[in-house]
Structure formats: structure tokens, C-alpha cells
């Protein structure tokens, strides 16, 4: 569905996207905008007269639903052994990619706001980076505790690998 090239020696640890429950709002919108006009036309026996307009309306609403689903599908967060990558599509022609090296992450916090996020188990992740005031925000992630745990494990492994790599390079004897 999407392609993102990883760097050399970089391995994918986790991939996640927004919770499926964020699509519920759009399902209700589609049902309402289809139900109301068709019910009105059926009630007043006008359906035969406006069938072409109704068919065009159904196609437009269906395209709206497909658009929202594809945008949900394309918005993804990747955790690799070296960095966190968020790919956010506002529409098909507006893509924003944010990347943060794991070694620069200083703090991870989770936020669940409101009734639906609490009941349905999704929330936001805020990632603080060293030297940058602005947070990297990952919105509406399902099970944010699990995701932050995976992120912390990746950070610890990354720090161990970079630490042991520095020791082995520092203690290496020059070759002649």
C-alpha cells in the first residue's frame, strides 16, 4: 500500500496506525447523508423523479468513504532499531513524514482524552526530543501503553548497541 525505504542496517521493529474506532465517526456521517435524502424522497414519492441525482449522490458519498478509509490506511507509524517515523496524509496530495532518531528521545508520555478514547482504548503519544521544544505527536494510537513499551525497548537496545559499538571502536588496536 505504501513504500518507505529504510536505511542500511535498519530493521523494522513495529508498525502501527490509528485505532479502527476513529473511523466510526465517518461511518455515521455516511449513514446519515445517505439515509436522510433517500428517506425524504421515498416519503414524498419523489425517488423516480430524482433517481439520477440520488445515484450521483451515492457515488459521491461512497468516494468520500473510500477516501477516509484510504487515508486512515496510509497514516502509519514505524519504529525501527534506529528511529521513529510517522507518515501522515492529510489528503492524497499532502504527505508529511516526521522522523526522530531513537537516541534523541528523552521522554514519552501517553494521553487519553475523553470518553471514547478511554472506553475504546486508544490515545495519543507525545515524544520529547533532546534539543527540540516541539513534541512529536502520534494521534489516536490503539493501546498507547503497549506502543510506548515497544518504543522504550527499542531505545534501550539502540543505546546498548551504540554504547558497545563505541567501546569496541575505542579499544581497538590500530592495524599496520
- Please report, for the chain, the start and end positions of each structural domain, with discontinuous segments joined by +: 12-19+77-168, 24-70
Output 166 or 102, whichever has higher pLDDT: 102
- What's the Cα-to-Cα distance from 50 to each of 2, 29, 53, rounded to whole Å? 40, 22, 5
How many Cβ atoms from other residues are within 10 Å of residue 158's Cβ? 19
- As beta bridge partners, residue 91 has 94
Q: Kindly tell me if the per-residue pLDDT of 1 is higher than 60.
A: no
Res. 171: pLDDT tops 60: no
Q: What is the pLDDT of residue 7?
A: 85
For 148-163, what is the mean pLDDT?
86
Specify the pLDDT at position 92: 85
pLDDT band at 4 (very low <50, low <70, confident <90, very high): confident
Q: What angle do CA 69, 74, 76 make, to 5 degrees?
A: 120
Task: Please report the pLDDT score of residue 60 as a whole number.
Answer: 97
Mean pLDDT of the region 124-139: 91
Q: What CATH number belongs to 12-19+77-168?
A: 2.30.29.30
Above 80 in pLDDT, residue 161?
no
Lowest model confidence (mean pLDDT) among 29-38, 92-101, 156-165: 156-165
Helix, strand, or coil (residue 155)? helix
pLDDT at 36 over 70: yes
Amino acid at each position: 500500500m505504501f513504500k518507505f525505504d529504510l536505511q542500511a542496517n535498519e530493521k523494522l521493529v513495529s508498525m502501527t496506525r490509528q485505532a479502527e474506532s476513529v473511523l466510526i465517526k465517518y461511518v455515521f456521517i455516511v449513514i446519515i447523508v445517505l439515509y436522510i435524502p433517500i428517506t425524504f424522497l421515498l416519503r414524498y414519492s419523489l425517488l423516480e423523479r430524482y433517481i439520477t441525482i440520488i445515484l450521483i449522490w451515492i457515488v459521491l458519498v461512497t468516494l468520500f468513504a473510500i477516501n477516509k478509509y484510504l487515508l486512515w490506511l496510509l497514516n502509519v507509524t514505524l519504529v525501527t532499531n534506529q528511529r521513529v517515523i510517522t507518515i501522515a496524509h492529510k489528503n492524497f496530495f499532502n504527505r508529511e513524514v516526521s522522523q526522530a532518531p531513537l537516541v534523541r528521545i528523552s521522554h514519552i508520555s501517553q494521553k487519553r482524552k475523553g470518553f471514547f478514547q478511554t472506553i475504546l482504548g486508544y490515545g495519543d503519544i507525545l515524544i520529547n526530543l533532546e534539543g527540540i521544544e516541539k513534541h512529536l505527536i502520534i494521534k489516536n494510537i490503539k493501546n498507547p501503553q503497549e506502543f510506548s513499551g515497544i518504543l522504550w525497548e527499542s531505545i534501550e537496545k539502540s543505546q546498548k548497541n551504540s554504547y558497545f559499538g563505541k567501546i569496541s571502536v575505542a579499544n581497538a588496536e590500530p592495524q599496520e
